[in-house]
Each structure stands twice: as structure tokens, then as C-alpha cells.
Amino acid sequence: SQTIHQWPATLVQPVGSPLSLECTVEGTSNPNLYWYRQAAGRGLQLLFYSVGIGQISSEVPQNLSASRPQDRQFILSSKKLLLSDSGFYLCASLSGISTDTQYFGPGTRLTVL
Amino acid sequence: AQTVTQSQPEMSVQEAETVTLSCTYDTSESDYYLFWYKQPPSRQMILVIRQEAYKQQNATENRFSVNFQKAAKSFSLKISDSQLGDAAMYFCAYRRYSNTGKLIFGQGTTLQVKP
């Protein structure tokens, strides 16, 4: 079965600083990968998804970008963080035998001060 | 555009009793998937149960079952014999049949289990 790792688990950054969140997947190949953001006590908003290396689709215009440099690596970035970028970021993978179901990583809690 | 609505922001249940969480969705598609995810305080999203729209039989996973009403576009989750570990936020999600696999989530229902 696949395992999804996210790094770091927690991050506190000042406004205007850059951001790089990493997601890696083990135990599968050619997954679809997703970045979601969850505001406190709210539902999940899809930010980006990728169906293959170098293929990124953006769902919401924003201060963030995503890249997929390797098959099982998905990176969320920003050049200059805003206060509104604070939240809980989840990476998810869709692949393998259970191709109908997304499985999630443990998440990264980002606080922008 | 597809939407998912969970009209109960908070629910509570006594330990060992049964509780039902509601979910409605809007779509013009005939083939799709529906999911319930659980998010405990750790915030890890955990799959509880899934249903394929073409299947008339309601999905069941141990103490968790769904009542899928396709015509009414309703997908409720029933938790039987509630346990303290069931306390969490529960999200209903919709996914159409496509290679993108994108999920659309409801706003969630926080379930409190009272001992």
C-alpha cells in the first residue's frame, strides 16, 4: 500500500518570506497528486493537482504555485507569503489498486505572522 | 458545477448509541463516487467508506454504513455503537468519473461522543 509523507509538519513564517512544502509518495508509481488547503474548522479546498511529471493544473488563482519534478514528488511553493496563506495543507494521492480513492498525507500546519 | 452540502455543523451522540450525519450533493452526472472521510484531532484524513453511484446496494464497513438515495442526491452516514474514538470531523466528498480524480468536499460535521 502507498504511504504519503509531508515535510515539514509545522512551519511558522513571516509575511513576505518564501515557502516550500514537500510531498512524497512511496509504494506506488504514476499517481495523481493533489494539494489541498484547509482553513481552521472548514472544509478542504483543492489548490493544485497533477496527473504526471511536469503537469500541473491550478484550481484557484492565488499566491501559490506547484511543481512535480519527479513521479512521486509534489512541491507547493510561494515567493512571498501572505497572512491569508495560513492554514493546514494536505497532500493526497490517487493510484494503484484503489484508483477511485484519494489517500492523504499527515499534513503541514502553516502559520504566517 | 458540483456542490456538496453538510447541513449539520455539529452533532453529538452518547457512547454506544447510533448517529446519522447528513450530506446532499448536486450534480448532473450519472456516474460518480461518494466518500466519507474522518478527520480526528491529529487532522489526518482517513477514509471511512465509499460508494459508487451505479451500485444500488448501500456500502457498509463494520459499524459504518451509508444511506445512498441517488434520486434525492442524498448520502448520509450512520455510525452504530458509537465509540469515543469516533469523535472527529466528518467530511462528505464527491468525485465524478474522470482521470483527474478531483474531490469536492462538504464543509464538515463535527461529531462529539459523550461517555
| Dihedral pair phi/psi, residue B84, rounded to 5° | -55, -35
If DSSP codes are grouped into helix, strand and coil, which group holds residue A79? Answer: coil
Q: Would you call A57 and B100 a contact, using CB atoms and an 8 Å cutoff?
A: yes
- In tens, the pLDDT along B3-38 reads 999 999 999 999 999 999 999 999 999 889 999 999
What cell was used for A11?
A: 512551519
Q: How far apart are the first and last CA of chain B?
A: 41
Q: Would you call B45 and A43 a contact, using CB atoms and an 8 Å cutoff?
A: no
Taking the Cβ of residue A101 and every Cβ of chain B, the question of whether any pair is shorter than 8 Å is answered with yes
Nearest CA in chain A to B108: A43
Nearest CA in chain B to A94: B101
CATH architecture for residues A3-112: Sandwich (2.60)
Gap between the Cα atoms of A61 and B57, Å rounded:
40
Burial of A40 (0-12, 13-18, 19+ CB in 10 A): exposed
Q: Would you call A32 and B101 a contact, using CB atoms and an 8 Å cutoff?
A: yes
- With 90 as the cut, is the pLDDT of residue B96 above it? no
Q: Give the pLDDT score at B97.
A: 82
Give percent of chain A above pLDDT 90.
77
- Could you count the other beta carbons within 10 Å of the beta carbon of residue B73? 17
Q: Give the pLDDT score at A78.
A: 96
Q: Residue B73: which pLDDT band, with cuts at 50, 70 and 90?
A: very high
Output DSSP code: residue A106.
-
Nearest CA in chain B to A93: B101
Gap between the Cα atoms of B3 and B14, Å rounded:
31
User: How do strand A87-94 and strand A103-104 relate by DSSP bridges?
Assistant: antiparallel
- Cβ-Cβ contacts under 8 Å, A46 against chain B: 102-104
Query: B31-35, B44-48, B66-70, B95-99 — which is least confidently predicted?
Result: B95-99
Among B108, B109, B92, B99, smallest CA distance to B2 is for B92
- In tens, the pLDDT along A49-72 reads 999 999 999 988 678 999 999 999
Instruction: Work out the minimum CA distance from B21 to partner chain A, whole angstroms.
Output: 15
| CATH code matching the domain that covers B3-114, chosen among 2.40.50.100, 3.20.20.70, 3.20.20.210, 2.60.40.10 | 2.60.40.10
Q: Give the pLDDT score at A98.
A: 54
Q: Give the pLDDT score at B1.
A: 77
Taking the Cβ of residue A79 and every Cβ of chain B, the question of whether any pair is shorter than 8 Å is answered with no
Could you state, in order of their start, the residue ranges of all structural domains in chain A? 3-112
| Among B50, B91, B107, beta carbon nearest to A101 | B50
